[in-house]
Structure 1
């Protein structure tokens, strides 16, 4: 497997070969190793491959660098997810520019049933931080296994990760550099906490600096990993707006918190809403509506009607009699159940205390659950 992995890494290191072309190469020649053993003439016959790319593929430097990276990830217990692996994020497979390989540190949970991306400005206001935390708290209460994805940057990103950790949700940070560093360094301790329930993911090899172009590349991974992207607060320009645009192009749901027309940090969200790129969100109810999710709280309410904990056989008998008839007087319950008036009165009082029935005027009872 290590030999095959070396060639998988090597493909991603060839300058001039992006994710789309790399996939085409694998499709044409059959597997990763064959790309590097194929003759120059055969490679030249593949659409999109010219002399310069053939020279890059044939360069020994690529395989040597792949060997170094393989040693690094083995030494630091870093996992890899190749584009045709079963464990590769399913949502990313629907994005034609998705990375050919991902490097992952932490728990392999990138195929959760529910994944929400949370993005925004690095200079978040207090109100935006509150909105972010309240949203994630609401998600945790209704959908306790939802994964929160962001970029571990200052402001909204780190606020989202911290809230996810606080409320027990798995959370993933998508990095714009290799896993030999944490940027910004101030978030190193938070990153360590995330490894227990979530982790860090990147397409960049060790030694890659957090340069500006890498953040745009990172943003497409955030957008591709999620079911919906929530923009909490942003100016009219910036990474959050770019990520929202990419998410829209991937046919992901985009939601944005509105703000004052006179607040520069609200202009990004207001713009997305005005242009119908994003739906307006004020809390978890709006997220639930936009994604047509059924909450655990609602599921539990349904289950409670199916599995009622009765304290006696008489309680269960009276409950079932009332359930069949919806509404009965105490005398009718006595007749239909065959129980004495004293037993009916005592048991109906207990059912009422448990919130299963309601006492109505005229000594009548109605089923509630």
Structure 2
């Protein structure tokens, strides 16, 4: 987008009471951010879900002034601005309803045809967590994946340093503008990260750094990736929020189980216990569940048994999948009029019989 269009888009982003979901609704209704800001108030109020309180400050000229000032910072610091409707905007993030309308980028990020996972976890990571995280990145490096994290203490920086060690791209999603870095002790890693990846944020250089920013930042960590991995977590923590967001985006979540007596494993154990995450006991669980293959590697031929006997429930699910192709577990349950727990166990049995297979995104299809 050109500079004028970017100014209007940033101005819209700057308006209080208008978040990304509402901004996208307005843009799609009017055609552009410029059209939104030039539209008559009575016409905007006709848009479903738009009330007078939402747009009460929309036409304040201070938003254009603020956007023009931010443009100067962006240009002076060679920052890329990715608009949510453009081709260079991260593909997976396009499918997130609350993805930012503008994403700021520094560095040399290339996400084209890349496998991407997010790795999050405790800031006070244990030696066990560090060892598992480093082994995870080391063994998955053959897939030339991208490692996304939050560039924070503990798990985040462990994962990103491991990515650099194995010449993988790594992306730090920041909870502040690109005019600063938190924590300051991680400034020494910035050059290497920008050389082998970079940073994303939707915060401005003028935004006040606040701890609540981390929660907003977490949606970008979850949205960029095919799957989110939680290495360690206490009973409550930001990484669990990221896992919940990833799940809401219908992305796979993995959690590393730990001893029941370890406080930093309570969160991961609960994710597994409540079936919110796959148990990650070995790095190879990820390519298996996500159905990854190495470049040039042929997909192993599946020998489907002839005359496989299916029970009544299996036949219902098999016929549904055969007619509707790839479907998610909960969709199968609804359309086959079966409880989810029954569908889950039946799908496992059918997989063992070689008649269906799991796919990324919690999908299943007939072989």
- Band the TM-score falls in, shorter-chain normalisation: 0.7 to 0.9
Structure with greater proportional helix content? 1
Give the root-mean-square deviation of aligned CA atoms: 1.7
Partner of 1:299: 297
Partner of 2:258: 259
Q: TM-score, normalised by structure 2?
A: 0.78
> In structure 2, what is the Cα distance between the partners aligned to 1:301 and 1:28?
44
Q: TM-score, normalised by structure 1?
A: 0.78
Q: How many residues end up aligned between the 2 structures?
A: 299
Secondary structure of 2:75's counterpart equals: helix
Shift in Å, 1:262:
0.4
> How does 1:204-353 map onto structure 2 within 5 Å?
204-296=203-295, 299=297
Give CA-to-partner distance per residue, 1:76-96, whole Å, 9 cap, x none.
000011110111111011111
> Is contact 1:235-1:268 (8 Å) kept?
yes
> In structure 2, what is the Cα distance between the partners aligned to 1:75 and 1:112?
31
Partner of 1:8: 9
Shift in Å, 1:55:
3.5
> Is contact 1:112-1:146 (8 Å) kept?
no
> In structure 2, what is the Cα distance between the partners aligned to 1:197 and 1:158?
14
Shift in Å, 1:11:
1.3
> How does 1:349-368 map onto structure 2 within 5 Å?
none
Partner of 2:49: 48
Q: Which deviates the most, 100-109 or 161-170?
A: 100-109
Give CA-to-partner distance per residue, 1:1-40, whole Å, 9 cap, x none.
1111111111111111111111111122122211112222
2:108 pairs with 1:107: yes
> In structure 1, what is the Cα distance between the partners aligned to 2:190 and 2:150?
11
> Is contact 1:22-1:100 (8 Å) kept?
yes
> In structure 1, what is the Cα distance between the partners aligned to 2:263 and 2:37?
52
Secondary structure of 2:195's counterpart equals: coil
Secondary structure of 2:58's counterpart equals: helix
- Gaps of at least 5 residues in structure 2 are 301-367
> Is contact 2:99-2:220 (8 Å) kept?
yes
- Gaps of at least 5 residues in structure 1 are 303-369
> Is contact 1:79-1:103 (8 Å) kept?
yes
